Structure 1
Amino acid sequence: MAVAVKAKRRQRRARLRQLTCAVLLAGTVTAAGAGLAAPVAAAEEGHAGEWSEVDAFVGGRLDATDTPGAALAVIEDGRVVHEKGFGEDGRGRTVTPDTPFLWGSVSKPVTGLAVMQQVEAGRVDLDAPVRGYLPWFRLADRDASDRITVRHLLTHTSGIPTAASGEIGDRYDNAPGALADAARDLARVEPADRPGGSFAYSSAGYAVLGALVEKVSGRPFGTYLHEEILDPLGMEHAVATEGDFTRERVAPGHRSLFGAPVPFDAPYDTSGVPYGHVGGSARDLARLALAELGGGKLHGRQVLSAKGIADTQRGHVDSSADRYGLGWSVGTLKGTGERMVWHDGALPGFQAMVVMLPDSDRAVIVLQNAYHQLRAEEFGDAAFGAAQLLAGADPRRTPVDPIAVALPWAAAALAGALLLGVAAPALRRLPGRRAAVRGRSRRRIVVAAVASVTAALGVAALLWRLPSALGGTLPMALLWLPDVGWGLIAAIALALLLAVERTVLAAVDLWRLRGGG
């Protein structure tokens, strides 16, 4: 779930502050590898101190986010000039430039490249309706479905809402046809805007693009990527299929649990390859960046024409931050004004970023084996800041958002307060209520019960709607923010239990008032 869109994150933080207050009030509220390793080694030999500032900065950002392991690659002048591993993977092994990670939404530029290969082969027209290639494709609005083009999907202007990713994503489905099955499930999604009307980042749209490539190429999407992109570029540890995931022994990533990184050993997700489940090592991703900077060519293998590459890296539409091309975000590097082509990505447990500076023929790749959805900008600092250092600018250091730290504890505190409310009658001894009932009128008992039940149900409803107010769902919260998600579930369950308990106690009090006991 995760392009680094600055304006969107500012809005999210504002909503988080408002909703957290509501919760608190309610409840107490590289180019490297066998053929390319030598140039890297030559560049590194005797020059370790040259990169110490970059290494120290990246290491500091990893410490700031409690990330257990990461890999860094730096490209200059058409070659990988620096590589480094930091820390350990999810199985306690030392991270190296060959350690495989999952890349999250950095998969999208790979999918964009695959689509453009089909365009250059004459099998796909960017401005043709998607239904011309996938007759079964549709949203809940059939007319809108008919007008969505391939370009709309690539540029996130199809009208498919960002939240649709929650409908079809993170299902960890590896059955045959899983990708097409996920895309078919968009039939129940209402469009948020007309096709071409506005930018709305949509992983769901990229799932459709993957299904399109499968259909026109006649090959499973992961197989296509290997045969046409990953293998030709020599990406030896690339992951695009469940078999790759098993062969490379991809270690668990880490989610945050009350601020501590906890391994999350999720299975692979074939249904999510086009938008989030491509993976590989820092050296693999460096080879992709080298091809992108080299006009689609790396060591004699041309995966796309120079014109096609330039088109993918050109800003086609305004996005929430900078502009968006055909799979890439396009903008300027803060502090330098230099043109920047980049993408970040995240999955529960992983974060990845590629920052390319085409005018100076540089790139920075950072892969991390941890992620926190509410601290996304902090995770992005490692790559952005390293790129700024290379360009002679001050590196970005995002301060910790106190809301991100407080929200899990607020959810837990609310659940605790509700638990005390549920336990209160037992703590006061239920038999002792008899004397108290004698001095109360029937009206007072009913009014108190109605107020208590209404408040408890209101808290439950507020918490139930909280994830959707942030653009997600409760299952997504459980996956991406498990401490917050389970805190919300516990609080919702206890609020409902409290409403039932207060109803039962009121009924018992009324019965006793009538002389029943």
Structure 2
Amino acid sequence: MNQRETSWLLKIAFLTMMILMVVSSVTRVQPAFAQGAPANFDAIDAYINTKMEELRIPGAALVIVQGDQIVHLQEFGVADSSGRPVTPQTPFFTGSTGKSITALALMQLVEAGKIQLDAPVQTYLPWFRVADVHASQIMTVRQLLNMTSGIPRSIGQEQLAITDLSDSAIENNVRALAEVELIAPPGERFEYSNANYVILGMIIQAVSGQSYETYLKDHIFTPLDMQNSFVSKTEAQQAGLAVGYQKWFGIPVASPNLPFSRGSNPAGQLILSAEDFGHYLIAQLNHGSYQGVTLLSPAGMDVMYQPPVTTSGAGPSYGMGWEVQHFQEVQVLAHDGSVPGYTTAMFLVPEKNMALAMVMNTYNPVLGFRVSRLPGNLLRMMLGQETVQLHEILFRQIIYTFVMLIPLLHFFAIVRTVRRVRAWRRGAPLSPRTHIARYVAWPLIWNTAIAFVLLMTLPKAFEVDISTMILLQPDVSWVAVISGVFAIVWGAISPCIGISMWAKR
């Protein structure tokens, strides 16, 4: 390697180190709130405003419930690029926080004697199939609720990109599982997959005789006076749906045309306002009742609140749309949610008779961990606990930095090749061994490896296909795809140049 090449590599190494330092500095946070008395609402609102500016969150809304009352309802920021302010009635996509609503709807049918939790899915959907015939026969409703069916996470993620808006969208997604290989026999292990709740939505339709959308409106939204909650994106837009924002190289960009997956409604496509979240949380805190209307008996609610499945090791347990967490010694029922452009979280604290939910119109799966963990700090403030530092996941930071550096490495490779060709034309000698290594073997190996990592390994690491990866994280995904395709092209061209030079030596 000559002096110029060494200089280029040193520059790239220095630039890589600087980028990592910048990325790391981005995760530094303001001093945490100290342990003590519960924070007042002004302090919570001030904390949110600070974090929204720091994390570039366009808009948000917060609701806090105590007993059977909404005690704090506050909006922040903007709902779209026109500057329209968020209000407590502004609808937001909820992501996976909507799973507990699907579970509640199904439990209503259980109490009505129309569904048995331990009955096979085929009892209600005789045509239901996965690739394993025996597994199809023994998979139960309870296993779907608890995410122990064995259905892989990836298929649920990929269905988010399906834009089928037909009345049969949910059924189409369920029928598409016929060729899916399970990762484990039903009931054996926990695997979070949206597909479980899509199947539950189909069971609700089959048993009730209503569409999933109509059932929710009649049996949950209307009884809870949730006037700004929707199962249709079109209806939500007419009511002022907050526009989702996606991060492009750290900058939030309004994305009003994000796809809507009607077939994934039961798993994460419901749309609620912060105010309506408050009504829902009141019903949760009050044993299934809201202002004298009972959605589910206290016994039925207790079944939902006792998740039997440990998600990993000694970590939280999950079941029926809720995860049991612990904030120090306080047990909390929680769930977060995210779909392209939106992040939500909700917490129930039964022993404090308190709950909160937060909705935001931004989502960044690679470098968005701080945003998704922000609502947890609000709960800590309400509990009088010290807030934790919000930081990104190091592995994801490394992936982001690596992908963003690939175009620079390609540029360096092109410049190096051009310089070598010019030197060869000026009569520079060619060493057979060095020439084959530098001009033929190395470009072929390097570019093949880059293409494989970017186009094959990266999507697999995030358990999605390329199209879904682009939907979830467009900036780094497009850089990865373009760089991967370029690596294939350059991996073919560069060795040809080397061979041509050798043939004409």
TM range (shorter): 0.7 to 0.9
Contact 1:330 1:339 in 2 (8 A): yes
SS at match of 2:355: strand
Cα separation, 2, equivalents of 1:409 and 1:263: 24
- Letter aligned with residue 326 of structure 1: M
- Go from structure 1 to structure 2 and tell me whether the alpha carbon gap of 1:470 and 1:167 turns closer, same or farther (over 3 Å shift): closer
Equivalent residue for 1:410? 402
Pairing partner for 1:74 from 52, 60, 64: 64
Q: Which runs of 5+ in 1 are unaligned?
A: 1-22, 30-48
1:475 aligns with 2:450: no
Counterpart for residue 332 of structure 1? 326
Secondary structure of the 2:363 match is coil
* Cα distance, 1:383 vs structure 2: 2.1
**CA deviation profile, 1:422-461 (whole Å, cap 9, x unmatched):** 4544x43857634557644499447741232122111211
Change (3 A) 1:152 1:476: same
**Matches of residues 269-418 of structure 1 in structure 2 within 5 Å?**
269-320=261-312, 321-334=315-328, 337-401=329-393, 404-405=396-397, 407-418=399-410
Instruction: Tell me how far 1:273 sits from its aligned partner.
Output: 0.7
Tell me if 1:188 matches 2:182: no
- Which of 54, 63, 73 does residue 64 from structure 1 map onto? 54
Matched-pair contact (CA < 8 Å) for 1:24–1:410? no
Quick one: structure 1 residues 430 and 377, their matched pair in 2 at CA, closer, same or farther if it must change by over 3 Å?
closer
What whole-Å deviation, never above 9, does each CA across 1:147-194 have from its counterpart, x for those lacking one? 110000000000011122233223222122011111211122211111
Distance 2:196 2:436 in 1: 55
Q: How many residue pairs are counted as aligned between the two chains?
A: 468
> Is the 1:449–1:503 Cα contact (8 Å) retained in structure 2?
yes
Q: Distance in 2 between matches of 1:51 and 1:406?
A: 37
1:175 to 166, 173, 184: 166
Give distance in 2, aligned partners of 1:402 and 1:262: 24
Q: Which amino acid aligns with 1:414?
A: I
CA distance in 1 between counterparts of 2:202 and 2:371 reads: 31
| 1:14 aligned partner | none
* CA positional deviation for 1:306: 1.2
Deviations 1:384-432 (A, max 9, x none): 222222222112332344554564443222122213424544x438576
Compared with structure 1, are the counterparts of its residues 242 and 470 closer, same or farther at alpha carbon in structure 2 (3 Å cutoff)? closer
CA offset digits 1:489-513 (Å, max 9, x no partner): 1221121111111232134224324
Contact persistence 1:213–1:221 (CA under 8 A): yes
Residue matched to 1:154: 145
| 382 and 456 in structure 1: CA distance in 2 versus 1, 3 angstrom threshold | closer
For the Cα contact (< 8 Å) 1:373–1:481, is it kept in 2? yes
Does structure 2 conserve the Cα–Cα contact (< 8 Å) formed by 1:61 and 1:381?
no
CA change 1:401–1:446 in 2 (3 A) is: closer
Q: Contact 1:73–1:282 (CA<8 Å) still a contact in 2?
A: yes
- Residue aligned with 1:134, SS: coil
CA distance in 2, matches of 1:255, 1:437: 51
Provide the C-alpha distance between the structure 1 equivalents of 2:65 and 2:427, rounded to a whole number of angstroms.
Answer: 77
TM-score, normalised by the number of residues in structure 1: 0.85
Q: Which of 98, 111, 115 pairs up with 2:89?
A: 98
2:225 to 234, 240, 243: 234
Aligned to 2:44: 54
Distance 1:25 1:143 in 2: 55
Q: Does 1:421 pair with 2:413?
A: yes
Other-structure match for 1:141: 132
Aligned-residue sequence identity (percent) comes to 29
* Rounded Cα–Cα distance in structure 1 between residues aligned with 2:243 and 2:485: 30
2:75 alignment counterpart: 85
Question: Alpha-carbon deviation of 1:362?
Answer: 0.2
Alpha carbons 1:61, 1:378 under 8 Å: kept? no
What amino acid sits opposite 2:388 in the alignment?
A: R
Q: Give distance in 1, aligned partners of 2:396 and 2:87.
A: 30
Contact 2:67 2:285 in 1 (8 A): no
Deviation at 1:372, TM superposition (A): 1.6
- Which one is further off, 385-394 or 271-280? 385-394
Q: What's the TM-score once normalised by structure 2's chain length?
A: 0.87
Instruction: State the distance in 2 between where 1:78 and 1:251 align.
Output: 27
Checking the alignment, whether the CA contact within 8 Å between 2:91 and 2:272 is kept in structure 1 is yes
Structure 2 spans left out of the alignment, 5+ residues: 1-12, 20-38
Q: Distance in 2 between matches of 1:331 and 1:322?
A: 5
The two structures, once aligned, show a CA RMSD in angstroms of 2.5
Decide which moves more: 179-188 or 242-251. 242-251
| Offset of residue 134 of structure 1 | 1.3
- Secondary structure of the equivalent of 1:262? strand
Amino acid at match of 1:113: L
Matches of 1:436 and 1:354, distance apart in 2: 70
Match of 1:127 among 115, 118, 128: 118
CA distance in 1, matches of 2:311, 2:92: 27
Q: Match for 2:152: what amino acid?
A: P
**Is the 2:348–2:355 contact (alpha carbons within 8 Å) kept by the matching residues of 1?**
yes
Determine the C-alpha separation between the residues in 1 that align with 2:152 and 2:47: 37
Change (3 A) 1:440 1:137: same
Further displaced range: 262-271 or 289-298: 262-271
1:138 to 1:437, Cα distance in 2 relative to 1, 3 A: farther
Partner SS, residue 186 of structure 2: coil
Deviation readout 1:63-122 (Å, 9 max, x if unpaired): 332101100111112100111101111242111111111000011001101111111111
Return the alpha-carbon distance in structure 2 between the equivalents of residues 281 and 480 of structure 1: 23
- Partner of residue 498, structure 1: 490
